[in-house]
Amino acid sequence: MADLSTSYMGLKLRNPIIAASSGLTNSLENILKIYDAGAGAIVLKSLFEEQINFAINKTFNQSENNYSYPEAQDYISHYTRENDLERYLKLIRDAKSRIDIPVIASINCISSSEWITFAKNIQDAGADAIELTIFILPSDPRRKSDQHEQVYFEILQSVMKQVNIPVSAKISYYFSGLTNMALQFSWTGIKGLVLFNRFFSPDIDIDKLEITSSHVFSTPGEMALTLRWVALLSDKIQCDIAASTGIHNGEAVIKQLLAGAKAVQVASVLYQAGFEQIGIMTGTLDAWMEKHGFATTNDFIGKLSYKEAENPAAYERVQFMKHFSGIE
Ligand SMILES: Cc1cc2nc3c(=O)[nH]c(=O)nc-3n(C[C@H](O)[C@H](O)[C@H](O)COP(=O)(O)O)c2cc1C
């Protein structure tokens, strides 16, 4: 068997498959199942900044919410009543006492407010790292892009002042200067960048004339967007990349690693096809490494990144041309 281990954010992973933050990673029962299924690491369900601020301030102003998941509102109201912060810390402690793979805590945040101090509690509970899911929907016409961008830096820098464990940022592709932003994020000292978060998207029910939710889960084709940016950024930025969105099978894992990701994060496929998909993915990865004579993941990670690929321009090609797509 090939050595599937990888290093991500300075953490040793037995293989590159990370269970992404989702409702599936919110209970010890599931965490143990994900561990048994063979995951390399687990990112816990996100705490929301507002939850933490509420617990700290005991105030909660619903009108100021601005979250990408509609479930956020319910989640926040419900769980704050359940003494959720202590529950979250207990989940970290319990997980760390039962499994020997990295447990990464996650916080969904949009500002560097009081909640920042809670990062230290997460570290003290034994989390191996903190993933910060940061997204401010650029929908306010009064706010310029640099005002949004500044918030990311304030959050990253203030959290890193609180903790010594590695910190990563999980971002979206909503940046006009994505490469420059990713570079600057990596210069802050974060150890990982997760490309990309996938958001809840609205839909419209044309019979009921109502706004609804849909496309909760990704499709395999969505992986292509991530693949391009992993390849374009992996040689340039000064931290590790974990690829996320649309990774549904072992072939997709291999592609992201070839493009330069150190690890991948999966959620939709676990919801749709079960935790056993993790073992199927690692099996595919192992068989492929054997077939190609790669003894370790380091032997091929980044082999087809922008810098290493024979034909890097393919990553920058954006227009359909018959010559490349085969379609008129
Ligand atoms: C039901 C559901 C809940 C999620 N909750 C969170 C969350 O709390 N925090 C977060 O950073 N990402 C969350 N995500 C996003 C996933 O972590 C992941 O980045 C995204 O689904 C793309 O990966 P996939 O294509 O494998 O699903 C959630 C996704 C789903 C489907």
CB of 192 sitting under 6 A from ligand 1? no
Residue pLDDT, tens place only, 210-221: 999 888 999 999
Q: How confident is the model at residue 317 (pLDDT cuts 50, 70, 90)?
A: confident
pLDDT at 113 > cutoff 60: yes
What is the average pLDDT across 243-271? 98
Question: Which is higher by pLDDT, 200 or 167?
Answer: 167
Q: How confident is the model at residue 325 (pLDDT cuts 50, 70, 90)?
A: low
Q: How far is the CA of 267 from the centre of ligand 1 (A)?
A: 6
CB of 267 sitting under 6 A from ligand 1? yes
Residue pLDDT, tens place only, 121-132: 999 999 999 999
- 10 Å CB burial of residue 75 (0-12, 13-18, 19+) is buried
Residue pLDDT, tens place only, 72-105: 655 555 555 446 899 999 999 999 999 999 999 9
Q: How far is the CA of 294 from the centre of ligand 1 (A)?
A: 31
pLDDT at 261 > cutoff 70: yes
Q: How far is the CA of 102 from the centre of ligand 1 (A)?
A: 18
- C-alpha distance from residue 168 to each of 153, 201, 266, 285 (Å): 12, 24, 16, 25
What is the predicted pLDDT for the residue at 211? Answer: 94
State residue 134 phi and psi, 5-degree precision: -120, 125
The pTM (predicted TM-score) of the whole model is 0.91
Rg (CA), the chain: 20
CB of 70 sitting under 6 A from ligand 1? no
The two beta strands, 11-13 and 6-8, are antiparallel
Which residue from 107, 121, 129 is spatially nearest to 51, judged by alpha carbons? 107
Lowest average pLDDT, out of 110-114, 116-120, 235-239, goes to 110-114
What is the predicted pLDDT for the residue at 74? Answer: 59
The residue contributing the CA closest to ligand 1 atom 28 is 22
Residue 12 CA to its chain's centroid (Å): 17
Which residue from 197, 296, 182, 198 is spatially nearest to 239, judged by alpha carbons? 182
What is the predicted pLDDT for the residue at 303? Answer: 97
Three-state DSSP at 220 gives helix
Average pLDDT, the chain: 91
pLDDT at 150 > cutoff 50: yes
What is the average pLDDT across 312-327? 76
CB of 248 sitting under 6 A from ligand 1? no
Q: In terms of DSSP H, where are the helices of the chain?
A: 28-36, 49-57, 71-80, 84-98, 118-125, 145-162, 178-187, 223-233, 250-259, 268-273, 277-292, 313-316, 322-325
Q: How far is the CA of 310 from the centre of ligand 1 (A)?
A: 34
CB of 23 sitting under 6 A from ligand 1? yes
| Mutate which of 17, 22, 195 for ligand 1 pocket (most atoms within 8 A of beta carbon) | 22
pLDDT at 63 > cutoff 50: no
| Mutate which of 44, 88, 198 for ligand 1 pocket (most atoms within 8 A of beta carbon) | 198
Cα angle value 182/185/186 (rounded, 5°): 90
